[in-house]
C-alpha cells in the first residue's frame, strides 16, 4: 500500500523537533528510578480552582453531557465578553464575535485554516511556540521567520517585521507574553506592529494565552484588539489553560471580527464541533469568581521567577535576561562553549535536570528554555545541580 505520506502540506514538519526526544529520555530515566527534575514542560503545577471544579461536577451530575452550541455555551461566551470588557475596555458581542475552542491550540488551528490560501505568508517572530509554524504549514501557508535578539530582550521590532512583508503576506502573528522567552512587548512596539498591519492591510493573530502573567506593575498586558483600528483586523487567542491552571480541561477561545464568523465556524465545526460541555461550565465559574486564585498563583510565579533569575545570574557562562511575563526563562549558554543540544542532554543524563534546547523554538544555537511552573524547592535543587554541571564544563 502506498500511503503517499507525508502529504504536501506536512512534508516540512518535524514532529517534536527535539523536545519529544528530551521528554521521552527524561521519562525513561525516571522509570528506571532516577530522580528527575522537570523544568521542560509549561504545565502549571497548581490545582484548578475549587469553585470551577465544583461547577463542572454539578454540570456533569445534572446531565450537561451533550453537544453545546457549536460556538460554545452562551453562559461562557458572556463571561469571556465580560472579561474583555473588564480587562481591555472592549465591548464584545458574545453572539457574533466569540468562539469557545478546545484550548488555545484549537483557536490557532481554526484561525489559520480559515484565513490562509495556499502560499499565503504569515510573519512569525522567533523564538516562538513550536506549533505555530506547523499549523501555518498544515493550512498551506508559509511562515516568515523574524529573528528576535537577546539584545532587544527577544521582543520583535516593528522595523524587522516590516522588512519581511511582501505582497503575499496575509498576517502577523504575535505572542506577548512569549513562550519560550517570557518577553512582553512594550507599548510602542505593539503600536508599531499595529501601524504596519494597518499600512499593509494585514491581519494580526494575537496569542494572549499568558495575558495574566505579567510581573512588572508599570506595564500591564496590552490587548492588540484594543488599539485604534485593530479590532476589525485582529484575531485574539486565549485560554483558561494557563491562567487558571486548567490545561487538562481543554477550553480556550477566539475573539474575531464579526464579518469572519461564518468561515471561522466552518473550520471549528470540522476540527472540534464544540468544546467539552461540563468543562465550559467550570471555566465560566472560574471567570466569574476565581480572580483571587489567579492573583495568588501569579504572586507565587513571580517569587519563583525571581529565585530562578537570582540563581542563574550567579552561574558563570550563563546570561539571562529578566523575563517580564509568562513562566519561562531563556538563558544564553554561549559562555559555556557547548552546543545547546549537548548541554540539555548532558544536564539530563548527568544531573537529572530536564530542560529544552532553544532550536525547536526557532532560536539559534546557544540557548535553552526552563520553566518555573514547579515548586520553589524543586527549582532551587535543579539550579544547584545546573550550577555544579556548568562548573564542570
Ligand atoms: N499558545 C502558547 C504560546 C502556548 O504556550 C500554549 C501552550 O503551551 C498554547 C498556545 C496552547 O494552549 P492550550 O493548552 O490552551 O491549547
pLDDT per residue as tens digits for the range 25-73: 999 999 999 999 999 988 999 999 999 999 999 999 999 999 999 999 9
Q: Check pocket membership of 103 for ligand 1, CB cut-off 6 A.
A: yes
* Mean pLDDT for the stretch of residues 3-14: 80
Which atom of ligand 1 is least distant from the CA of 175?
Answer: 3
Q: What is the mean pLDDT of the chain?
A: 96
User: From the DSSP assignment, how many helices (H) and strands (E) are in the chain?
Assistant: 13, 12
Residue 335: CB atoms within 10 A of its CB come to: 14
Q: State which H helix or E strand residue 190 sits in.
A: helix 187-199
Torsion of CA 118, 142, 258, 209, to 10 degrees: 150
Query: What is d(CA 146, CA 138) in angstroms, rounded to the nearest whole number?
Result: 20
CB atoms within 10 A of CB 144: 20
**pLDDT tens per residue across span 91-150:** 999 999 999 999 999 999 999 999 999 999 999 999 999 999 999 999 999 999 999 999
pLDDT band at 5 (very low <50, low <70, confident <90, very high): confident
Q: pLDDT confidence of 17, banded at 50, 70, 90?
A: low
Atom of ligand 1 nearest to the CA of 239: 15
Distance CA 176, CA 105 (A): 16
Structural domains in the chain plus CATH codes: 8-47+292-392 (3.90.1150.10), 50-289 (3.40.640.10)
Q: In this structure, what DSSP letter does residue 247 have?
A: G
Does residue 239 have its Cβ closer than 6 Å to ligand 1?
yes
pLDDT tens digits, one per residue of 303-318: 999 999 999 999 999 9
- Ligand 1 centroid to Cα of residue 127, in Å, is 14
Q: Which of 16, 236, 241 to mutate to test the pocket of ligand 1 (most atoms within 8 A of CB)?
A: 241
Residue 141 corresponds to which cell in the numbers above? 501557508
Pair 124, 156: CB distance under 8 Å: no
Cα(226) to centroid(ligand 1), Å:
22
Spatial separation of the C-alpha atoms in residues 379 and 368, rounded to whole Å = 16
Confidence of residue 16 (pLDDT cuts 50, 70, 90): low
Please classify residue 157 by burial: count the beta carbons closer than 10 Å to its beta carbon, then call 0-12 exposed, 13-18 middle and 19+ buried. middle
Kindly give the pairing relationship between strand 121-126 and strand 169-175.
Answer: parallel
CA 157 – CA 59 distance, rounded (Å): 46
Average pLDDT of the residues in 240-247: 98
Angle at 155 between CA 227 and CA 243, to 5 degrees: 70
Total residue length of the chain: 393
Written as nine digits, the cell of 270 is 470540522
Mean pLDDT of 17-29: 84
Most ligand 1 atoms within 8 A of CB, residue of 102, 105, 235, 251 to mutate: 105
Task: Please tell me whether residue 234 adopts helix, strand or coil conformation.
Answer: strand
pLDDT > 90: percent of the chain: 92
Whether 102 lines ligand 1, by a CB cut-off of 6 Å, is no
> For the ranges 17-26, 217-226, 239-248, which has the lowest average pLDDT?
17-26
Amino acid at each position: 500500500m502506498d500511503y503517499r505520506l507525508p502529504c504536501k502540506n506536512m512534508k516540512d514538519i518535524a514532529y517534536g523537533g527535539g523536545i519529544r526526544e528530551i521528554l521521552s529520555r527524561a521519562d525513561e530515566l525516571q522509570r528506571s528510578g532516577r530522580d528527575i527534575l522537570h523544568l521542560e514542560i509549561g504545565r502549571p503545577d497548581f490545582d484548578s480552582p475549587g469553585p470551577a471544579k465544583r461547577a463542572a461536577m454539578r454540570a456533569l451530575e445534572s446531565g450537561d453531557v451533550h453537544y453545546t452550541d457549536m460556538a460554545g455555551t452562551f453562559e461562557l461566551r458572556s463571561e469571556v465578553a465580560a472579561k474583555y470588557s473588564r480587562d481591555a475596555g472592549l465591548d464584545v458581542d458574545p453572539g457574533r464575535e466569540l468562539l469557545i475552542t478546545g484550548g488555545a491550540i484549537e483557536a490557532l488551528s481554526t484561525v489559520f485554516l480559515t484565513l490562509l490560501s495556499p502560499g499565503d505568508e504569515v510573519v512569525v517572530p522567533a523564538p516562538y511556540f513550536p506549533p505555530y509554524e506547523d499549523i501555518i504549514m498544515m493550512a498551506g501557508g508559509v511562515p516568515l521567520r523574524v529573528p528576535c535578539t537577546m539584545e532587544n530582550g527577544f521582543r520583535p521590532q516593528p522595523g524587522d517585521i516590516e522588512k519581511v512583508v511582501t505582497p503575499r503576506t496575509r498576517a502577523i502573528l504575535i505572542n506577548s507574553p512569549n513562550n519560550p522567552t517570557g518577553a512582553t512587548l512594550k507599548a510602542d512596539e505593539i503600536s508599531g506592529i499595529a501601524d504596519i498591519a494597518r499600512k499593509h492591510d494585514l491581519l494580526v493573530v494575537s496569542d494572549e494565552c499568558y495575558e495574566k502573567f505579567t510581573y512588572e506593575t508599570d506595564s500591564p498586558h496590552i490587548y492588540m484588539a484594543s488599539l485604534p483600528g485593530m479590532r476589525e483586523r485582529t484575531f485574539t487567542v486565549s485560554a483558561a489553560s494557563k491562567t487558571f491552571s486548567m490545561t487538562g480541561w481543554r477550553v480556550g477561545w477566539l475573539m474575531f471580527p464579526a464579518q469572519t464568523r461564518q468561515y471561522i465556524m466552518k473550520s471549528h465545526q470540522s476540527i472540534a464541533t464544540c468544546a467539552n460541555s461540563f468543562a465550559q461550565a467550570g471555566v465560566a465559574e472560574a471567570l466569574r469568581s476565581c480572580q483571587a486564585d489567579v492573583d495568588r498563583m501569579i504572586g507565587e510565579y513571580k517569587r519563583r521567577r525571581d529565585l530562578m533569575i537570582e540563581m542563574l545570574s550567579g552561574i558563570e557562562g550563563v546570561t539571562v535576561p529578566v523575563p517580564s511575563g509568562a513562566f519561562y526563562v531563556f538563558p544564553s549558554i554561549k559562555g559555556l562553549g557547548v552546543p545547546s543540544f549537548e548541554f540539555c542532554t548532558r544536564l539530563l543524563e548527568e544531573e537529572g535536570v530536564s530542560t529544552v534546547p532553544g532550536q525547536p523554538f526557532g532560536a539559534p544555537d546557544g540557548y535553552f528554555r526552563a520553566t518555573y511552573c514547579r515548586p520553589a524547592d524543586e527549582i532551587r535543587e535543579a539550579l544547584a545541580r545546573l550550577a555544579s554541571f556548568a562548573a564542570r564544563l
